[in-house]
Structure 1
Amino acid sequence: MVNPVPPASAGTTTAGTTTVGDDDFADLLPETRRALAHRLAVAQRDGRLPGVVAAVLRDGQRRWWGSRSIVDGHAPDPDVQFRIGSITKTFVAVLVMRLRDEGQLKLSDRLGQHLPAVGPAVGEVTIRQLLAHTAGLSNEPPGPWWERTDGALRPELADLLQHPPLPHEPGRLFHYSNVGYALLGALVEQLRGDDWYTVLHREVLRPLGMRRTTALPDAPHAGGWAVHPWADVILAEPLQQTGRMGPAGQLWSTADDLTRWAAFLLAGDDRVLGAASVAEMRESQAPGEEGYGLGLMVARADGLSLVGHGGSMPGFLAGLWIAPEQRLGVVVLTNTTSSPGTGFGELATDLLRIVAEREPLIPEPWRPLAACDPEVLALTGPWYWGPTGFGLRLVAEDVLELTPLSGSNTREARLRRSADGRTWTAEGGYWHGEPMRVVRDAEGRVTHLDVGTFVLTREPYPADGPVPGGVDPEGWRAERW
């Protein structure tokens, strides 16, 4: 077992304070840096954290980092490894999405098509369900607590499955499953012909320059500790290799490497996974839940829309979150099994909030469009679904925004024109993925818009318009009752 936290790198002062280079937070104000350092110090004290390191990024670059430790002169720097637990799942999900984008599988495929060893019941669940924790599998494998026991206890895939293996009907609800991600790791191994970490290193870590993300600890790394719930004493946690359960939580990483990973989850990288596929991972999948996409948690906190993942293993807690609308990200790592109250639990979101509130993004200046199709421009203006008003605005050369004219209607969408210019598709909201048709009469004049069968006309319920079910021939009238 190593020291509570290894020595920091040269040039970092750690005796109760945090010192970083000016270039690391050149875009943050001194007051913001102090607020971040204060929040980190409070978390270390109140959460009784042996060691903690945090980093904030904006626009893909680290702008601040800080650390605290119980040992003066031994606070971790961004190159010290911690175990990251279930953040590992985000990496496995990217490997699966790469296979999808290559045409090796479809997310709608049954697992048994590619991995028959799982048996008939589990073989029926889909890859999408496994990614989104809606496959109905148990949380954990059978036997003793897998995070604290040797993975050799479960040498075969069948050893990961409870009996019965599906406590819930697939697709019915969100039920977090470490077992599901162990099976996804086995799927990657089956289709790539190599162990999952070797594939990860070759296809993801190396291209992104993440040299300090490993399956086994690589010095300098923190030792894992448990803090007594009723006394200020600590206990060393054992280190176990988790075998087939590794894809659920095996990885070790650093604040520096995870900052790169957060930047990737914000923007994608064509060497690994394109921006569109990464954005797809950020979309919530679980029925009735806002909480999980494809390998990524989806949440709201302090008015921010967040995507990321938490992680825990004996002796370690971790968090990685991005706020795409603010182009912000945060990484927090500590070496304790649990932390009371708000010590660690809200640290990540509080650090994001501090930057978002104190230094909001400066919007880009308004500029007119470089090009404008007259036929598209003619579509803009007011439209009505029955008596409900919408405004259609041209916001980019091939993008329209449909927004309600009153707050009582929540249906809205961005409409993007296809490359051939023939069709429009809604993005986001009630009509997400639905087509919009521009309907014309025999003379070529636009009569109405059809958005997922919702007929929009230029005036409310026109007497001679294409309104489903027709319009009362007496038309609009005033009545005294």
Structure 2
Amino acid sequence: MLSKALFLAALLALGVFAGPALAAAPPEGLEARLDAILARGAPGVSVLVYRDKELLYRVDRGRIAPDAVLPIASASKWMTAALVMTLVDEGRLSLDEPIGRRLPEFQGPSGEITLRQLLSYTAGQGGLMGMSDLLQASGITLAESAARIARRPQGDTPGTVFRYGGPSFQVAGALVEQVTGQRWADLFEARIARPLGMTSTTWGHPLRPDLDPATVHNPNLQGGAYTTAADYGRFLGMVAGRGVLDGQRVLSEAAIAELQTIQTTGKPMAYRPPGLSDIDAYGLGNWCELAGTEGDCVLASSPGAFGAYPWIDRKTGLYGLFFMKHHLPLVVGPTRQARALILSAAP
């Protein structure tokens, strides 16, 4: 009879993570779906699936270490919006206050932009293709980042058009640092990472993995987080748990509801990135792939350009992520097929 150690080793060899929290077997056919991701060129992929803050199962395929730290690109947005919402919960920031009241360099129409518009890419500051935040130096402050963005011409009237990936999150970060007097990375550690037990998450630049996080004063807030699959799973557990994980409240239920309330209803979706052009709704820092009946989101996600694909499905109660480093447009199809299998197999 196999010893427990040998049994666990056999499971790991098959690509299935086993541990005290393992509560279910992966659905039949999931490994084949993950192999389809590898066939698109991804060197390795991990999938973690949870319910009620419990890891149901984990599967690792290809060349990926269980504790791999990867750049997650736009999967960072969900975490950025969550940190901003901790200040909204405290009443130190308002989603609907014009930013010109706190950042006087924003004048005229740009001064009327709100935090809600910044976090939903409806602020009229352009889209991803402008790369105005991605081209900024990492050594300047978030305040200087926002000031440089303020000097750029306004593209659209605030609140009228959705253009994904503009520089808006840097402005939101400048507001956070202004009202707290603390650096973004320190605030994230104190308000999100430490309470959730996220021990391997740092902020930098998605295209500069060589940067020492300690020297980065202008982290790219829409795409600059580096983390592990387990760390991101802890964050998702808090969001799925309506702001609470392991008895620790990080966000109010109202803040979680705001994050997953559709902000783009009636607005033209003027720019969506490759691989995500079929999604028609956006909340605060996350996409809504399936809307509810009250302007809420049933299936929320925040895919990144490097392939990380976190999601929460309110209908089944399942949530999880696909964790990898590869071009999202190449793997988005098989990733969604794998998720569909997971959701269809939910008891």
State the TM bucket, normalised to the shorter chain. Answer: 0.7 to 0.9
Q: Aligned runs of 1:19-30 on 2, under 5 Å?
A: 19-21=16-18, 23-28=20-25
User: Quick check: 1:320–1:331 contact (8 Å CA) kept in 2?
Assistant: yes
User: Quick check: 2:322–2:335 contact (8 Å CA) kept in 1?
Assistant: yes
CA distance 1:192–1:328, shift in 2 (3 Å): same
User: Quick check: 2:309–2:322 contact (8 Å CA) kept in 1?
Assistant: yes
Max radius of gyration: which structure?
Answer: 1
Listed as ranges, the gaps of 5+ residues in structure 1 are 1-9, 218-223, 225-236, 361-481
TM-score in terms of structure 2 length: 0.80
Determine the structure 2 residue equivalent to 1:57.
50
Equivalent of residue 332 in structure 2, options 335, 339, 345: 345
User: Quick check: 1:14–1:75 contact (8 Å CA) kept in 2?
Assistant: no
C-alpha distance in structure 1 between counterparts of 2:281 and 2:194, whole Å:
30
Equivalent of residue 209 in structure 2, options 239, 243, 247: 239
Residue 336 of structure 1 and its aligned partner are, at CA, apart by: 2.4
User: Quick check: 2:281–2:289 contact (8 Å CA) kept in 1?
Assistant: yes
Listed as ranges, the gaps of 5+ residues in structure 2 are 1-7, 268-279, 292-296
Residue 126 of structure 1 and its aligned partner are, at CA, apart by: 0.9
Q: Aligned runs of 1:167-182 on 2, under 5 Å?
A: 167-182=155-170
Three-state SS of the structure 2 residue aligned to 1:86 is: helix
User: Quick check: 1:137–1:177 contact (8 Å CA) kept in 2?
Assistant: no
CA distance 1:338–1:283, shift in 2 (3 Å): closer
Q: Aligned runs of 1:64-463 on 2, under 5 Å?
A: 64-69=57-62, 74-77=63-66, 79-140=67-128, 147=134, 150-152=137-139, 156-161=145-150, 163-164=152-153, 166-215=154-203, 239=209, 241=211, 244=218, 246-267=220-241, 268-269=243-244, 271-288=249-266, 290-300=280-290, 305-312=298-305, 316-340=306-330, 344-360=331-347
User: Quick check: 2:76–2:224 contact (8 Å CA) kept in 1?
Assistant: yes
Q: Which has the higher strand share?
A: 1
Q: Which has the higher helix share?
A: 2
Determine the structure 2 residue equivalent to 1:421.
none
Q: Given residue 49 of structure 1, which amino acid in structure 2 is its aligned partner?
A: A
CA distance 1:308–1:137, shift in 2 (3 Å): same
Taking CA–CA contacts closer than 8 Å with sequence separation of 6 or more, which of the two structures ends up with the larger relative contact order?
A: 2
Three-state SS of the structure 1 residue aligned to 2:86 is: helix
Residue 146 of structure 1 and its aligned partner are, at CA, apart by: 5.7
Residue 276 of structure 1 and its aligned partner are, at CA, apart by: 2.9
C-alpha distance in structure 1 between counterparts of 2:20 and 2:91, whole Å:
43
Residue 238 of structure 1 and its aligned partner are, at CA, apart by: 5.6
Residue 179 of structure 1 and its aligned partner are, at CA, apart by: 0.5
Residue 285 of structure 1 and its aligned partner are, at CA, apart by: 1.1
C-alpha distance in structure 1 between counterparts of 2:281 and 2:23, whole Å:
34
Give CA deviations for 1:346-365 in whole Å, capped at 9, x if unaligned: 344333322322233xxxxx
Residue 318 of structure 1 and its aligned partner are, at CA, apart by: 1.2
CA distance 1:106–1:157, shift in 2 (3 Å): closer
Determine the structure 1 residue equivalent to 2:35.
41
Give CA deviations for 1:339-389 in whole Å, capped at 9, x if unaligned: 52xxx20344333322322233xxxxxxxxxxxxxxxxxxxxxxxxxxxxx
Residue 207 of structure 1 and its aligned partner are, at CA, apart by: 0.5
C-alpha distance in structure 2 between counterparts of 1:58 and 1:351, whole Å:
17
TM-score in terms of structure 1 length: 0.59
C-alpha distance in structure 1 between counterparts of 2:72 and 2:52, whole Å:
23
User: Quick check: 2:204–2:219 contact (8 Å CA) kept in 1?
Assistant: no
User: Quick check: 2:125–2:156 contact (8 Å CA) kept in 1?
Assistant: yes
User: Quick check: 2:137–2:218 contact (8 Å CA) kept in 1?
Assistant: no
Q: Given residue 195 of structure 2, which amino acid in structure 1 is its aligned partner?
A: P
The alignment-based identity, stated in percent, is 28
